[in-house]
Homo-oligomer: A and B are copies of this chain.
Amino acid sequence: MARVALDLLGGDGAPEVVADAVGILTREDVDIDLVLVGPPDLAEALLAARGIHRGRLEVCAAHDVVPMDARPLDALRADASRAHPRMSVMVAAMAVRDGKADAWVSVGHTGASVTAAALVLGRIAGMTRPALAVVLPGLEGPVVLVDAGASLDASPEALAQFAVAGWGYARGLGVQRPQVGLLNIGHEPGKGDELRLRAFAELSARLPLMGIDFVGNVEGSDVARGAAAQVIVTDGFTGNVLLKGIEGAVDWAAQRMGTAYGDLGPARAVVRAVGTGDFAGGMLLGVNGITVVGHGAGNAAQICACVRLAARSVDAGTLDLTREAVSALGAEESGPPPAVERVGP
C-alpha cells in the first residue's frame, strides 16, 4: 500500500483540478493511500463538494506556493527556516522525509519542486546533482530520457551519474537489461561538442565496469523510436528542449494528420493516451525520496498518472535500485561540490 503525498496547490488548475484527480484516485486506485498537502479548510471544502469519502485521506497543512517571480531557492530557504514551513512543496517533501508518505507529487513549478526535494530530502550518496527522468513511449518500447531539465551546465561526471541513476530507474520500471546511450549529433564515436566528447569517454570507461551496457552515441530521433537504447542521457538544457520539441511535434502531427483524415478525434486520442501514461510525470532522480514532478498544465487524468507512477515506483523499490547503482559509481567519484546543500527546516 503506497502512501503518496499530493500537492493540492501546485499547477495551473489548482486546487480544483487536483481535487478532481483525488476524486478519481479514491474511486479507482484503492491500493494508493493519499496524503493531501494544502490548507485543511480548503481541502475539506473541495472534498465535500465532490462527495469524496475521507476514509483513507490524510491532510497535511500547507498554505502557500512559491511565487512565479521568486527564485525558488531563496523562497524555500526562507520557508525552511520557519518552525512550521508553509509552502506546499516543502510540506509534501517533509511528509516523505518524516515517514508520513512514501512518495510525493506536485504539478506546480518544476524548479520549486526540484529545489524543495534537494533541500528537504537531500541527495543520495554519489549524486552531486539531481536529474529529471521522463519515460517516453518509443515505438520499440519505453525510453527513459534523463536529464529532462533539473540540472543545467552539467559536467561529464554528472552525466555519468544521470546515466547510472536512469539505469536503476529503468530497471524499477521493469526493463530487464536497460541499454544506455549518450544523446549526440551522430552515432559515430568522436561526434559532438566538448561536453559530449568528455562524457563519451567517461561513460565508456565507467559503465561497463558496473555491468551496464553502454551503446555509445544515439541521436534525437532515437528517443521516439526507442530501438537504440532504453536510457538516453543528456544535460538538462538539451533534454528539456528536446522533450518540449517532441511534445510540440506530436501536437503538430495531431493537427496536420487529423486534418488529412478529416477527423481530429483519433489523433487527439493518441496524444491524450500518451499524456496520461508514464509520460505525464518526471521522476526526480538523485534525491532521498520518490519525487514526481508533473506538467503544470496537467488535467486530472494526468495528475492521476503522476500519482500512479509514484506509487508504482514505491512498490518497485526504485529508490533502492537507483541508490545502489549510484553509490557503486559514487564510491570512486570525485565530482564538483554539491550545487545545493541540505538544510533542515
Interface residues of A (CB under 8 A from B): 138-139, 149, 152-153, 183-185, 192-194, 196, 219-225, 234-238, 240-258, 260-261, 263, 266-267, 269-270
Cβ–Cβ < 8 Å partners of A235 in chain B:
193
Cβ–Cβ < 8 Å partners of A184 in chain B:
241
Q: How near does chain B come to A88, taking the closest CB pair, in angstroms?
A: 21
CA distance A251 to B222 in the complex (A): 11
CB contact under 8 A between A241 and B253, given known A185-B149, A270-B260: no
CB contact under 8 A between A260 and B252, given known A219-B241, A241-B185, A245-B224: no
Nearest CB in chain B to that of A237: its residue: B193
Q: How near does chain B come to A97, taking the closest CB pair, in angstroms?
A: 28
Cβ–Cβ < 8 Å partners of A225 in chain B:
248, 251-252
Q: Is A220 in contact with B196, judged by CB distance below 8 angstroms?
A: no
Nearest CB in chain B to that of A266: its residue: B260
30 of the cross-chain contacts (CB-CB < 8 Å) are A153-B194, A183-B241, A185-B236, A185-B237, A193-B235, A196-B237, A219-B241, A219-B248, A220-B243, A220-B244, A220-B248, A221-B245, A221-B251, A223-B249, A224-B248, A224-B251, A225-B251, A234-B241, A237-B238, A238-B238, A245-B246, A245-B249, A246-B248, A249-B249, A250-B252, A250-B253, A254-B257, A257-B267, A260-B267, A261-B263
Cβ–Cβ < 8 Å partners of A246 in chain B:
220, 245-246, 248-249
